[in-house]
Amino acid sequence: MLTSVPRGTKDILPNTVHEWLYLENKIRQLCAVYGFEEIRTPVFEHTELFLRGIGETTDVVEKEMYTFSDRSGRSITLRPENTASVVRAYLQNKLYADGNITKLFYIGSMFRYDKPQAGRYREFHQFGVEALGEQNPMVDAEVISLAADLLTELGLKDILLKINSVGCPKCRPVYREKLQAFFRNKLDQLCKDCQSRFDRNPLRILDCKNPHCKEIAADAPKITDCLCDECAEHFSQLQKYLTTVGIKFILDPQLVRGLDYYTKTAFEFKYTPLGAQSAVLGGGRYDGLVEECGGNPTPAVGFATGLERLLLALETQKLLPAKENNCDIFFVALGEKSRQTTFKWLQQLRRQKVTALMDYSDHSMKSQMKHANKTKAKYAVILGDDELNKKVAIVRNMLDSQQMEIPFDTLIEKLIFEVNK
Residue 325 pLDDT greater than 90, yes or no: no
For the chain, the domains span: 14-171+227-316, 329-420
DSSP symbol at 332? E
Report pLDDT digits (tens) over 150-200. Answer: 999 999 988 999 999 999 989 888 888 888 899 899 888 989 888 888 888
What CATH number was assigned to the domain covering residues 329-420? 3.40.50.800
Please choose, from the candidates 123, 119, 227, the residue with its C-alpha nearest in 3D space to the C-alpha of residue 166. Answer: 227
* Cα separation, 72 vs 143, whole angstroms: 40
- Listed in sequence order, the residues at least 6 apart from 381 whose beta carbon sits closer than 8 Å to its beta carbon are 329, 330, 331, 332, 342, 345, 393, 394, 395, 396, 411, 415
**Count of alpha carbons within 13 Å of 339, Cβ hemisphere only?**
12
- The H or E element that residue 281 is part of is strand 279-285
Pick the CATH number of 14-171+227-316 from 3.10.20.30, 3.40.50.300, 2.60.120.10, 3.30.930.10: 3.30.930.10
Average pLDDT, integer, range 9-33: 96
- The H or E element that residue 132 is part of is strand 123-132
**165 within 8 A of 265, measured Cβ to Cβ:** yes
Report pLDDT digits (tens) over 73-107. Answer: 999 999 999 999 999 999 999 999 998 999 999 99
- For residue 87, the tally of other CB atoms under 10 A from its CB is 28
* Cα separation, 200 vs 245, whole angstroms: 39
Looking at residue 393, its pLDDT comes to 97
**Total residues belonging to the chain:** 421
Looking at residue 259, its pLDDT comes to 59
Residue 332: left if φ>0, alpha if ψ -120 to 50, beta else—which one? beta
Please choose, from the candidates 337, 360, 338, 356, the residue with its C-alpha nearest in 3D space to the C-alpha of residue 348. Answer: 356
Global pTM value: 0.88
**226 within 8 A of 178, measured Cβ to Cβ:** yes
Please choose, from the candidates 154, 121, 118, the residue with its C-alpha nearest in 3D space to the C-alpha of residue 278. Answer: 118
**408 within 8 A of 391, measured Cβ to Cβ:** yes
* Cα separation, 353 vs 4, whole angstroms: 37
